[in-house]
Amino acid sequence: MVQYSLSRNSKNKPQKNDDIFEVNMISNKNGDIVTTNNRFPVDAIITGTGGNKPFYLEVQQGLIPGYQFSHKFGAAPSMAATTATVWDVDDTLYPWDALGSGSVVNVERNNVADNGFIVTVQGLDENYNFAEEDITITGADQSGSQLFTRVNRAFISDSGTTNLGNIDIEAGAAGGTTVARITAGYGQTLMAVYTIPAGKTGYLIHLTCTGSSDTDASGSIKKRVFEQDVFRIQHAFEIQLRGGQYNYNFGAPLVFSEKTDIEIRIVNRSNNKRITAAFDILLVDN
């Protein structure tokens, strides 16, 4: 807080300083001022850049310890008139508990032309810390050895071409529940689901969602806190335009504690519509 007085001069009256003004500002623990254009100010000493770069750019460049971004994006290829999660498997709710407290995953190849590809699976281990495994496709099914409690993403990491058939990431042995799918021709999962790693807090700052022509649907951000069963709605929206886009920047980010599950869920009243969704989360070390 700053206090100051305003001097007033007059020909007929002596100078008076009887008007007191106050200016209130909010700062972080380093004394950096918070503004509407800079909600997460960072001390230039921390960044080493003199504070001239946008905060989000410096996070992406790894210049700010304890901060990182996750951009999640998903698509339902052709959703029927139903309630479902926005991910590669049409008309289904995401099977959050399929991996239990920790399980290996199996890579199921559906086109022999995809033999030899290396599939990178990313997610969280049995302690909810980041985990990654590369699994080489040598046959119809190939199991890994890393334990996962969550799979957040999978992609082909070594080829100049993309997959000709669907590649399913299954919980446990061959034939297990599909927890991720690399749809034919995409080379990468499209799943608008995410779990906050252990030791971090997530701040969701942006959401977007689209539907193909004449889509009529309701959408929501759902969250499930660790060791709870119920998914609670955190934000609701509508898609009722001809290919229109729903786009929302949160003035105050939605806050998600460690190990919280997040998904974009759609109630579709139309039929055979492609639905896409994406959200951006700032992760901050606890």
Report d(CA 86, CA 275) in Å as an integer. Answer: 7
- Rounded to 5 degrees, what are φ and ψ at 237? -155, 170
Query: Which tens digits make up the pLDDT trace of 103-127?
Result: 999 999 999 999 999 999 999 999 9
With a CB cutoff of 8 Å and minimum separation 6, the contacts of 14 are: none
Count of other CB atoms within 10 angstroms of residue 56: 15
Q: Answer whether residue 1 shows pLDDT above 60.
A: no
Query: Which tens digits make up the pLDDT trace of 232-256?
Result: 999 999 998 665 689 999 999 999 9
pLDDT class of 158 with cuts at 50, 70, 90: confident
Amino acid 245: pLDDT: 85
Amino acid 48: pLDDT: 44
Q: Answer whether residue 219 shows pLDDT above 90.
A: yes
Amino acid 18: pLDDT: 59
Average pLDDT over residues 92-106: 97
Bridge partners of 222, per DSSP, are: 233, 263
Q: Answer whether residue 45 shows pLDDT above 50.
A: no
Say which range, 30-44, 192-206, 209-223, 259-273, has the weakest mean pLDDT: 30-44
Amino acid 20: pLDDT: 63
- Rounded to 5 degrees, what are φ and ψ at 20? -105, 130
- Domains observed in the chain: 1-63 (no CATH), 67-91+192-285 (2.60.120.40), 105-182 (no CATH)
**Positive/negative CA dihedral, 126, 129, 134, 137:** positive
Report d(CA 201, CA 152) in Å as an integer. Answer: 17
Per-residue three-class SS string for the chain = CEEEECCECCCCCCCECCCEEEECCCECCCCCECECCECCCCCHHHHCCCCCCCHHHHHHCCCCCCEEEEEEEEEEEEECCCEEECCCCCCCCCCCCCCCCCECEEEEECCHHHCCCEEEEEEECCCCCEEEEEEECCCCEEECCCCECEEEEEEECCCCCCCCCCEEEEECCCCCCEEEEECCCCCECCCCEEECCCCEEEEEEEEEEEECCCCCEEEEEEEECCCCCCCEEEEEEEECCCCCEEEEEEEEEEEECCCCEEEEEEEECCCCEEEEEEEEEEEEEC
Amino acid 47: pLDDT: 44
Report d(CA 132, CA 125) in Å as an integer. Answer: 9
pLDDT class of 160 with cuts at 50, 70, 90: confident
Q: Using a pLDDT cut of 70, give the percent of the chain over it.
A: 80
Amino acid 46: pLDDT: 43
Exposure string over 136-153, b if 16+ CB within 10 A, otherwise e: ebeeeebebebbbbbbbb
Amino acid 53: pLDDT: 82
Average pLDDT, the chain: 88
Report d(CA 250, CA 129) in Å as an integer. Answer: 27
Query: Which tens digits make up the pLDDT trace of 13-36?
Result: 555 555 666 666 666 655 666 665
CB 276 within 8 A of CB 210: yes
Average pLDDT over residues 166-176: 96
Average pLDDT over residues 188-194: 98
With a CB cutoff of 8 Å and minimum separation 6, the contacts of 28 are: 34, 41, 43
| Residue written as token pair 């030791």 | 199
Average pLDDT over residues 225-231: 94
Report d(CA 189, CA 223) in Å as an integer. Answer: 21
Query: Which tens digits make up the pLDDT trace of 52-65?
Result: 789 889 999 999 99
